[in-house]
Amino acid sequence: MNAASSLKNVPPDAPDRAPAASLPPLPVIGGLTPFSSVDWPGQLAAVVFIAGCPWRCHYCHNPHLQARERHLHWTQVMAFLQSRRALLDAVVFSGGEPLSEPRLPQLIAAVRALGFKTGLHTAGIYPARLAAVLPMLDWVGLDIKTTASRYDTLTGRRGSAAPVANCLDQLLRSDCAFECRTTWHPDWLPEPELLELAQDLKRRGVKHFALQAYRSAPGSPATVFPSDATKHALAASFTCFTYR
């Protein structure tokens, strides 16, 4: 089966606020990183991983979090965070796709009540759900996976570029700090198209952009690198450019 014939429709976007009766009794937590200095630039953060993502990106960093399967209870997460008050700056919700969790607004509110800043990693799949939590967030890392024409093939889902554009528009209109970031491999995004993507983001008003090296497994070294000319061009395009 070729990539085009295997494309599936993205699940419909959720309303801004689901009725309480329709919410699952417990959030689906996929894991917890107790300390990170890289998941939110400039902040010492714990990372809460939400299990579940409708996309099937070829280079997914956390494929074990694609299914909605609980690995950790929220009470355990909260007990840990209680013990880290005044020791950590922030909590980042990552995934999977954290916006796949219907109870995310309540989880963010609980974390903020402990005094932590709150951040979100998202692929931009669910614009309405982002709109619901954006006023509660201090920072967002938005994945921009590729150019619009390549999105469906990369994600395995038809129409996947449009919600990402919607989410980026929301962030550009908001007061929330955010970073756009692209995980790069030349087979998925040749360097000329990477530069085209960067120029489009610059035109739209993006100031912070990170290029992330593809790694075949978490913690493994990168094996492909953009040219110095490409990195210089990217650095010249944004107020803040990071290669990591």
pLDDT per residue rounded down to tens, the chain (244 residues): 333 334 555 554 444 444 444 555 689 999 999 999 999 999 999 999 999 898 888 777 777 777 677 889 999 999 999 999 999 999 999 999 999 999 999 999 999 999 999 999 999 999 999 999 999 999 999 999 999 999 999 899 899 999 999 999 999 999 999 999 999 999 889 999 999 999 999 999 999 999 998 877 666 777 789 999 999 999 999 999 999 9
Nearest alpha carbon to residue 16 among 146, 80, 104, 119 = 104
Phi, then psi, of 92 in degrees rounded to 5: -110, 130
CATH for 77? 3.20.20.70
Residue 192 in any domain: the answer is no
Residue 15 in any domain: the answer is no
State pLDDT tens for residues 174-227: 999 999 999 999 988 999 999 999 999 999 999 999 999 887 766 677 778 999
Residue 208 in any domain: the answer is no
Question: What residue numbers bound the domain in which 102 lies?
Answer: 28-187
Q: Residue 9's pLDDT is what? A: 57
Residue 165 in any domain: the answer is yes
Residue 2 in any domain: the answer is no
- Rounded Cα distance between 79 and 77, Å, is 5
Question: CB of 130 within 8 A of CB of 98?
Answer: no
Residue 38 in any domain: the answer is yes
Q: Residue 194's pLDDT is what? A: 98
Q: How many domains does the chain have?
A: 1
Query: What angle (nearest 5°) sits at the alpha carbon of residue 209, between those of residues 235 and 3?
Result: 115
pTM beyond 0.85: the answer is yes
Residue 4 in any domain: the answer is no
The one-letter amino acid code at 68 reads R
**What is the chain's alpha carbon radius of gyration, rounded to the nearest angstrom?**
18
Residue 231 in any domain: the answer is no
Token pair listed for 31: 């894991």
State pLDDT tens for residues 209-219: 999 988 776 66
Burial class (CB in 10 A: 0-12, 13-18, 19+), 237: middle
